[in-house]
Amino acid sequence: MSNVIDEANWKFHWRLTESAGIMIYLADYKGHRVLWEGSLPYVTVDHQRQTLDVEQDAGEVHGPWWVPLGTRTLQGPVRVQSFRGGVELSAAFTAGLYHYTQLWRFHDDGRLCPWLTIYGPGVHDQHTYHPHWRFDFDLDGARDDAFERYEGARWVRVENEGWFPYSGEADANGTVWRQVDFGSGAAINIRPHKLG
C-alpha cells in the first residue's frame, strides 16, 4: 500500500511510527498545505482510586500511566477506506488489557477528524482516558501564521506555546481554537468533538 493518499480533495502522506500510531504529514487540501504533521504520541490513563496501595491490590496498576501505540502494538494491517464524502485511514492496536482503534478521516469539504476508540475489559471502572493529539498546522506556509483561542466572547492571540484546554466557551460555529494565516486570509478552525 502506498504511503501517499490522493482522494476526496486531499493529498497526504502517512507512516506507522514506533510509539505515536499513524502519523499524518504533508497534508494538502485542494492544493493548499494544511498540516505539516499530526500524530497521537500517547494516551494517558488516569486511574482514580482512593487506594493506591499496590501491595494490597497485587497485579493492578494504579495512577496515571501512558500507552504508546505503534508498530509493536499493531493488530493487523493499516486500512484505507473510502466513505461517502471522504476517505479514512485506520489501524487497530492492543496494549495490555486495552484495545485501540485510531482513525483519521479526511472529508471532501475540508474537515479533518482524528478519532480514537478504546475498548476492552480494563482494570476497573474508575478511570479516564486522555488521548494527546499533536498537530503542527502549516496553513499556506509557516509565515504569517498565528494561533488564537476563543476566550471572554472574543478571539485572543496566543503568544507562547502551552496547554489550552477547552473551557466551555466557543464561537457561534463551535470553534474553540484556530490558526490564521494573515498572508492569505485562510484559517483552520478547531473544535472539540462534543461541546457542552
What is the pTM assigned to this prediction?
0.82
Distance between CA atoms of 69 and 161, rounded to whole angstroms?
25
- Domain limits of the chain? 1-46+64-138, 144-196
Distance between CA atoms of 139 and 145, rounded to whole angstroms?
7
Distance between CA atoms of 73 and 95, rounded to whole angstroms?
6
Torsion region of 142: left, alpha or beta (phi above 0 gives left; psi -120 to 50 gives alpha): alpha
Distance between CA atoms of 100 and 92, rounded to whole angstroms?
6
Residue-wise pLDDT tens digits, 85-144? 999 999 999 887 788 999 999 999 999 999 999 887 666 667 777 788 899 998 877 788
In Å, how far are 21, 97, 101, 108, 145 from 131, measured between CA atoms? 12, 17, 12, 25, 26
Residue-wise pLDDT tens digits, 52-98? 444 455 454 555 566 678 888 999 999 999 999 999 999 999 887 78
